[in-house]
Copies of this chain bind each other. A is one copy, B any other.
Amino acid sequence: MLKIAVAGVGRIGKMHAEIIARQTANAQLVAVADINEDAAKSIAGQLQVEHATVDQLFSASNIDAIAICTSTDTHVELIEKAAKAGKAIFCEKPLSLDVEKVDQSLRAVDAANVPFMVGFNRRFDPGHKSVRDAVQSKAIGEVHLARITSRDPAPPPIEYIKVSGGIFMDMTIHDFDMARYVVGSPVVEVFAMGAVLVDPRIGEAGDIDTAVVTLKHLNGAMTVIDNSRQAVYGYDQRVEVFGSAGMAISDNPRSHNGSVFSETKVQDQNLPYFFLERYTASYINEWAAFVEYVLNGGPSPVSGLDGKAPVILGLAAKESVRTGNPVKVDGV
């Protein structure tokens, strides 16, 4: 039984805490912590566990693993502290907006030799995973092309956008990880085009809201990613890999499977609204994978390198938009 504490119980941390407490075999939620003590108290009450300060988690002897779900700018420091304390570490994405700092935290993890996994939950979505499985089993042969669509239902508040690191660090980071995961070959070149088409205030905040990113992989395969901050029809999440022997697609689920046929049209259901609804299964599977990994060993399901590579790609995409030209990267 793995004893886990959650540091940071905002929207995503709270969800992780609930899944650990209720839907994860061989795991026990023992404490939650948050800079906002009331939030920690309230969630601890609901889940009937203890609440603490973040620092108290590191010294608690009944805690085996810590889920770091605080704001991005605190990740590196907390990873280092947790590593030093000998705890197994789960950290939300992105590890940092700064590659140097990512390296610094990964060195701490290596030094402490503790289990470490990054929270790229989409790898654990059954549909997306089936695409990866089709690649790995060679069911679709050698990979030639990948297409990833990732569009949020609505933009976050402008204040969030200002501290988010920009669309490539906040949204596309998942897609960079997905490209590496499903194609299975390092990325060597990034070309990104961006535009402000959803809301001019996003442009005023120094970001873009619509993007197309093309990746070249070491094996010659190419990935295309498209992003938008606002898909009015719901949370649009599709992954497709095309290869020499076929194609694997992970298409959007619908809210339900009811349809109405009438004289002029057939009306189907829309997409689920956002990630808590869309990716429920992925979060549950992610925790199962983490617990299995910590208890039984083996390679990390989402390693430190898997956490670092998308940060490098995000910075390269940013650079590509700035210069208008493709940017080479060092095979990540």
**Cβ–Cβ < 8 Å partners of A127 in chain B:** 256-258
Given contacts A228-B242, A265-B268, A325-B326, contact A258 B126 (CB under 8 A): yes
Report whether B267 and A266 are in contact in the complex, using a CB–CB cutoff of 8 Å.
yes
Taking CB atoms and an 8 Å cut-off, the chain A residues in 1-56 that contact chain B are 22, 48
**Cβ–Cβ < 8 Å partners of A245 in chain B:** 232, 262-263
Q: Does A84 contact B (CB under 8 A)?
A: no
Taking CB atoms and an 8 Å cut-off, the chain A residues in 82-137 that contact chain B are 125-131, 134
Given contacts A214-B214, A226-B224, A326-B325, contact A140 B246 (CB under 8 A): no
Report whether B325 and A228 are in contact in the complex, using a CB–CB cutoff of 8 Å.
no
Q: Does A212 contact B (CB under 8 A)?
A: yes
**Cβ–Cβ < 8 Å partners of A315 in chain B:** none
Nearest-Cβ distance from residue A182 to partner chain B, whole angstroms: 11
Report whether A130 and B258 are in contact in the complex, using a CB–CB cutoff of 8 Å.
yes
Q: Does A216 contact B (CB under 8 A)?
A: yes
Q: How many copies make up the complex?
A: 4
Q: Does A264 contact B (CB under 8 A)?
A: yes
Question: A311 CA to B269 CA in the complex, in Å?
Answer: 34
The number of chain A residues touching the other chain, given as a range, is 35 or more
**Cβ–Cβ < 8 Å partners of A197 in chain B:** 142, 144, 220-221, 244
Q: Which residue in chain B gives the minimum CB-CB distance to A269?
A: B266
Report whether A266 and B191 are in contact in the complex, using a CB–CB cutoff of 8 Å.
no
Question: A115 CA to B221 CA in the complex, in Å?
Answer: 44
**Cβ–Cβ < 8 Å partners of A214 in chain B:** 191, 193, 212, 214, 224
Report whether A233 and B262 are in contact in the complex, using a CB–CB cutoff of 8 Å.
yes
**Cβ–Cβ < 8 Å partners of A324 in chain B:** 326
Q: Does A289 contact B (CB under 8 A)?
A: no
Point out residues on A near B: beta carbons under 8 Å: 22, 48, 125-131, 134, 139-142, 144-145, 147, 149, 151, 189, 191, 193, 195-198, 210, 212, 214, 216, 220-222, 224, 226, 228, 230-234, 236, 242, 244-271, 281, 324-326
21 A-B contact pairs sorted by A residue (CB < 8 Å):
A22-B22, A126-B255, A128-B258, A130-B258, A130-B260, A144-B198, A195-B220, A195-B222, A233-B266, A234-B261, A245-B262, A245-B263, A246-B263, A247-B260, A249-B257, A250-B256, A250-B258, A254-B266, A265-B269, A265-B270, A268-B268
